[in-house]
Structure 1
Amino acid sequence: MFKQLQQSFLFKLYFSKTELERLLILSCLFSMGLTAVRIVYTHHLQFAWLTWNLFLALVPYLITRFAVQNISWIEKRWKFVLLFWVWLLFLPNSFYIITDLFHLEIANRVPLWFDLALIFSFAWNGILLGVLSIRMMEKMVQLNFPSIKEWQFVYPLMLLNAFGVYIGRYLRYNSWDVIADPFQLTEDIIYLLLHPLRHRLDWSMIVCYAVFMTLIYLAVKRMSKALW
């Protein structure tokens, strides 16, 4: 019986990981568990889509983990540049879940505190996955381009990250629309860039989230160094 358990997918998924990854798995399972409880209790699939958003938030982390485990994608510069741009396309998905807090509202059958815990747990997992992924990518960038300073990597990255969150939340584009609908996406981005005064609130949101995400990343990074 125990041997069968050892061979099971969940056993391998959990016990073959680092302690941090095990905590991430438990945290993600907690979020999905809250969603399952809500569905059973209300007989409604509201917030079930958060699981899909969490999967998308996991993609950039998996990309960087893949690179770490396959060193040729770091050593060969053309491979690394390709990997970086694919990673960058998916990175906003990790922080996008923060904006899912917009969906928090008083429901008749579900306590507000429960929905707050549910949505925030997903947002928290997205932030953790994003921060860890960015940290791994920062190390890989510094290996390939040693002259790049922390601020030269983090600040522009977070601005692009916040821009991606904006076009996902308000323009309703997905990462794959770069391939599926590139012309309309490009047109909307150019219009936003050419008319910043017409989109003052939009750019305010982008800058605000860029600063917010930068502070989160730098704070977690500094805390990890201080604790060790």
Structure 2
Amino acid sequence: MRWLLPNIISAFDNVYSGWILWNLFLAAIPLLLSFSLFRRQSLSNRWFLAACVLVGIIGVLGLGPRTPRAVQGLYNLLQDNSSPFSWFELLWLLAVTAFAGLLSLKIFKTKQDPKGWLWWVGLVVFLIFLPNAPYVLTDIIHLIRGTSSGQIRILVVALVFIPLHAAAILLGFEAYVVSILNLAAYLKQHGAKAMILPLELTIHALSAVGIYLGRFLRFNSWDLVTDPTGVIAYTLDALTSKQPAAVIFVTFVILASLYWVMKQITLGLKLRIRYARQGIDALD
């Protein structure tokens, strides 16, 4: 069995390139924002800070294998003298990144009236990044590519990568479910329970569009800030074309169905935990 560990390491280096940790990091961002915006009182400052640190570590580890490609992209941008907007795009991206970081710190540390402008900006960021959580469903393509390439032994696939994919997909989609449940709890608390179902369906529809743009057109969440006109143009084109619209509709149905199932499981587990704390046997 001494060959097992080298094969696993080689598979990660040559096939997977850290996508699992990076996509889980992106899925965790709306989850943290949902607790900060909608249910901040449900987590103590200590646990919330610990969660932020853990998500940050996951992001750093996931970004590591992508660093050479990111550096090369930055180099190409700086060397692109044919475009007078290259430096402007770079400065704009840095400004947006700095603003997002400061905004996150401000939201996480401030227990302010949720109707302030900062809360609304945080809500927009939450909605922009939310499709990253169900996006992990499409990452099954990495397993298909990895197993069909012949680079990974069958035993490694069966014992490592199938369970790893299942866990990553489950965690990412659960982040999506809990994020929406936190939003639903906020709406119920503020007397807007009737809006929960329409808003859930709207979020599924928007997430389906976001997944299509990310998986097939390779857009990222931050492209809404760095290239909003391009994102809008491609979105309108997708919605008015038969094949992309069909893909988006099927994705919407899958998201809505899986969300309903996972919602029942999540709420059931929450109820069982409450029973256990109260000393109630659920079988009684």
- TM-score normalised by structure 2 residue count: 0.59
Q: Determine helix, strand or coil for the equivalent of 2:15.
A: coil
- Establish whether residue 206 from structure 1 lines up as the match of residue 265 from structure 2: no
Number of residues of Structure 1 aligned to a counterpart in Structure 2: 191
- Aligned runs of 1:44-193 on 2, under 5 Å? 44-47=13-16, 48-67=18-37, 68=40, 70-72=110-112, 74=114, 76=115, 78-105=117-144, 106=147, 107-111=150-154, 112-113=157-158, 114-144=160-190, 146=192, 148-193=194-239
The higher-RCO structure (CA 8 Å, 6+ apart) is: 2
CA contact (8 A) 1:39 1:45 kept: no
CA distance in 2 between counterparts of 1:52 and 1:125 reads: 13
- Any stretches of 5+ residues in structure 1 without a counterpart? 1-35
CA distance in 2 between counterparts of 1:52 and 1:43 reads: 13
Change in CA separation of 1:171 and 1:150 when aligned onto 2, cut-off 3 Å:
same
Q: Determine helix, strand or coil for the equivalent of 2:34.
A: helix
* Equivalent residue, structure 1, for 2:100: none
- Moved beyond 6 Å, runs of 4+: none
CA contact (8 A) 1:155 1:214 kept: no
CA distance in 2 between counterparts of 1:80 and 1:217 reads: 28
- Any stretches of 5+ residues in structure 2 without a counterpart? 42-109, 276-284
C-alpha deviations, 1:57-88, integer Å up to 9, x for none? 110011122231544253x2544332222101
C-alpha deviations, 1:143-195, integer Å up to 9, x for none? 345253331221111111222122111111111000111111110111123x2
Query: Superposition RMSD on alpha carbons, in Å?
Result: 2.6
Change in CA separation of 1:82 and 1:38 when aligned onto 2, cut-off 3 Å:
farther
CA distance in 1 between counterparts of 2:234 and 2:187 reads: 30
Q: How much identity, in percent, do the aligned residues show?
A: 24
CA distance in 1 between counterparts of 2:206 and 2:176 reads: 14
CA distance in 2 between counterparts of 1:100 and 1:71 reads: 36
Report the Cα offset of residue 43 of structure 1. 7.0
Q: Which residue type is aligned with residue 152 of structure 2?
A: R
CA distance in 1 between counterparts of 2:12 and 2:125 reads: 38
CA distance in 2 between counterparts of 1:213 and 1:146 reads: 24
Q: Which residue type is aligned with residue 121 of structure 1?
A: A
> Which of the two has higher C-alpha Rg?
2
